[in-house]
Amino acid sequence: MPPPPTDRTRVRRGVWMFPGIVAGALVDAVVAAEEYGLDEVWIADEGVARDPVPVLAAAAGRTSTIRLATGITSPVLRHPGAIAASAATLDELSGGRAVVGLGVGGELTLGPFGLGSDRPVALLRDAVDVIRAVHRGTAVPGYAPPSHATPPREVPMWIGARGPQLVRLAARVADGLFLSGCSPGQHESIIDNASSVGSVATAIYQTAVDRPTSPGELDWDDAHRMLVDAADRFAPASIGLNLVQLSTPGTDPVPLVERAAGLLGDV
């Protein structure tokens, strides 16, 4: 069963951003998110779009409290060792605010290269093992720490997933489960599935647009109501809004961040 309701004042609030606008504007959006009182920001890794790690690294120098997460990056496209090193470097630059968001990746990320995976659970399990080993300075099959490796540091790792096997994997090996664009019914089913393996923190993010065109999108008011309900029913570690409008070049992200922060402040 889902966890009991908890004090919503302790739930982190944030935004997820599509990296479809110029990098400097994305950095400004992260800075604005902190100024508007948000606790975390996730930037997607969509392959050949703007790279989230340099953007987050640039934002690290202009912020002091907000958590900086890749949301998500794929070991199909990036070697787990490179993911680990990038995350450790970002964590060092930001004073311990980095989060690794890990997942298989979708068509926008992998399609241009003709990539995919027919063993997603094994892929992510092995990637988690390598990333943890790099961050802890330990050896695992396929990795032996060299003398020039980054010093050990614990960087939280969250898995973005919906399918039953990947959700259970997240509950077993990750620090959290990132759920994005799901319906309330999906939330209950996914969280029950994760709970069958063990306790895992969840981040529930909903896509908010002015004119929804797909099942995963809601208008802003409906997205707000869904997050209020999700915060009460599922006691997530964090909640947020997906700013998919940033897939359109030239979009000003700061008003969207301000709008999201205003709604989330009432959740």
Q: What is the tens place of the pLDDT at every residue in 168-222? A: 999 999 999 999 988 777 888 999 988 888 788 999 999 999 999 888 899 999 9
> What dihedral do alpha carbons 191, 170, 108, 142 form, nearest 10°?
-170
Domains in the chain, ordered, with CATH? 8-264 (3.20.20.30)
Task: Calculate mean pLDDT across residues 133-155.
Answer: 96
> In 3D, which of 94, 96, 53 has the Cα closest to residue 72?
53
Could you give the percent of the chain with pLDDT greater than 90? Answer: 87
Categorize the per-residue pLDDT at 129 as very low, low, confident or very high, splitting at 50, 70 and 90. very high
DSSP codes joined into one string, the chain: -PPPP--GGGSEEEEEE-S-S-HHHHHHHHHHHHHTT--EEEE---TTS--HHHHHHHHHTT-SS-EEEES-B-TTTS-HHHHHHHHHHHHHHHTS-EEEEE----HHHHGGGT---S-HHHHHHHHHHHHHHHHHT--BTTB---TTSPPP----EEEE--SHHHHHHHHHH-SEEEEES--HHHHHHHHHHHHTT---EEEEEEEEESS--STTEEEHHHHHHHHHHHHHHH--SEEEEEEGGGGSTT--HHHHHHHHHHHHTT-
Judge contact between 109 and 81, C-beta under 8 A. no
pLDDT in tens, 52-73: 999 999 999 999 999 999 999 9
Categorize the per-residue pLDDT at 10 as very low, low, confident or very high, splitting at 50, 70 and 90. confident
> Between residues 93 and 185, which one has the greater pLDDT?
93
**Tokens describing residue 143:** 């990795």
What pLDDT does residue 215 have? 81
Is pLDDT at 6 greater than 60 in this prediction?
no
pLDDT in tens, 213-261: 888 899 999 999 999 999 999 999 999 999 999 999 999 999 999 999 9
